[in-house]
Amino acid sequence: YLKAGNEPKKENRSKKIVLGFSQLGAESDWRRANSQSIKNAALEAGIELIFLEADQKQDMQIHAIRSFITQGVDVIAFSPVVEGGWDEVLEEAKMAGIPVLLSDRAIKPDDNSLYATFIGSDFLEEGRRAARWLVEKKIAKKSVNVIELEGTIDSAPAIDRKKGFAEIIANYPQFQVIYSASGDFTEAGGQEIMKAALAIYGNQIHVVYAHNDDMALGAIKAIEEFGLRPGKDILIVSVDATAAAFKAMMAGKLNSTVECNPLLGPQLMQAVKSLMAGRQLPMRIITSEGVFSAETARQDYLHRRY
Ligand code: GYE
């Protein structure tokens, strides 16, 4: 880490590429796996990484990006906590001639000239996958009540996972989302909203759709405390496919999880190197992902790396 005031001049630095990475926080297992992947991949690629974490706060991320500009890093990458409000600081990076890569989450307005590429998942498709799993369950009930545990307000994955899910269930009048609130992608947040939902709707709840596994795990606790059986009385589908989610599926408490791959480090370092070598990058690099369910959790778990 470079301390303010004694930054070495660019030409005195090692010939290594210097990458400033602003991580949005450490709110979930997904995020922790993502941070580890980025650190490992930088080491492996011989890239000097300056890694700052922001506690899910946009102002802290903006501050981090500004510090990278001041230090004169070669490349900036960041995972934007919310979609909007980045234009000013990205203009500053542009003025300084430092290319910016988006990792994991997208930004809006989508001004293509403010970043070189976006490496991440298709969150809209993840929402659709969760809904498709649900409608294919053929639940023998006339009316199925769904509780939606949303991620961080205004974040790309929360917006798109909601939209994708809604798009599919709109074709199946059997399903309605009766309650929806943000749990900020944390286990504690998921537990809290689920508790609130149970207090209002009790055993009228049939399904929980959580925008990530951590919130689903929180919901599992709330459901058990309420005296119902998660995975049986209330079906639960979530997103990420972390090791903890697999354990919950093996215990029969979680029914399905849609994969969202956090191991973006190698692709990110590849993109950084290509950029520094002057190669043109595609605007969008999508990671490939699947869906897992309780039925095959035991076999699938053998291959999990996060
Ligand atoms: O699904 C969630 C994390 O941005 C895709 O953020 C990421 C999401 C991930 O907190 O667990």
305 CA from centroid of ligand 1 (Å):
16
Distance CA 74, CA 68 (A): 9
The helix (H) or strand (E) run that includes residue 180 is: strand 175-182
* Ligand 1, residues at Cβ distance < 6 Å: 27-28, 30-31, 104-105, 157, 185, 212, 214, 239-240, 260
Residue 302: what pLDDT?
A: 87
Q: Which atom of ligand 1 is nearest to the CA of 79?
A: 4
Give the ipTM: 0.99
Task: State the pLDDT at residue 100.
Answer: 97
pLDDT for 1 = 45
Do 209 and 182 meet the contact criterion of CB atoms below 8 Å apart?
A: no
**Residue burial 78-91, b: 16+ Cβ < 10 Å; e: rest:** bbbbbbebbeebbe
Sign of CA dihedral 124, 292, 139, 228: negative
What is the pairing mode between strands 256-259 and 235-240?
parallel
DSSP helix/strand/coil, 152 = coil
Going by their DSSP bridges, the two strands 175-182 and 117-120 should be labelled as unpaired
Burial (CB < 10 A; 0-12, 13-18, 19+), residue 199, is: exposed
Residue among 149, 185, 239 whose CB has most ligand 1 atoms within 8 A, to mutate? 185
**Gap from CA of 155 to ligand 1 centroid (Å):** 9
Predicted confidence at residue 303, as pLDDT, reads 81
CA 106, 132, 217, 302 torsion-angle sign? negative
pLDDT at 286: 82
Closest CA to 20 of 70, 75, 63: 75
CA 115, chain centre distance (Å): 19
Q: What residues does 248 pair with on adjacent strands?
A: none
Q: Say how many C-beta atoms besides its own lie within 10 A of residue 182's C-beta.
A: 19
Q: Could you list the pLDDT tens digit for every one of the 306 residues in the chain?
A: 445 555 555 554 558 999 999 999 999 999 999 999 999 999 999 999 999 999 999 999 999 999 999 999 999 999 999 999 999 999 999 999 999 999 999 999 767 789 999 999 999 999 999 999 999 998 989 999 999 999 999 999 999 999 999 999 999 999 999 999 999 999 999 999 999 999 999 999 999 999 999 999 999 999 999 999 999 999 999 999 999 999 999 999 999 999 999 999 999 999 999 999 999 888 888 877 889 999 999 988 988 888
DSSP code at position 109: S
**What gap in Å lies between CA 107 and CA 61, rounded to an integer?**
13
Task: Using the mean position of ligand 1's atoms as its centre, give its distance from the Cα of residue 213 in Å.
Answer: 9
Which of 212, 258, 289 to mutate to test ligand 1, by most ligand atoms within 8 A of the CB atom?
Answer: 212
Residues 6+ apart with CB under 8 A from 287: 119, 120, 121, 261, 264, 267
Pairwise CA distance, residues 174 & 273, whole Å: 50
Here the tokens at position 40 are 């490992």
CA torsion angle for 296, 299, 305, 306 (degrees, to 10)? 40
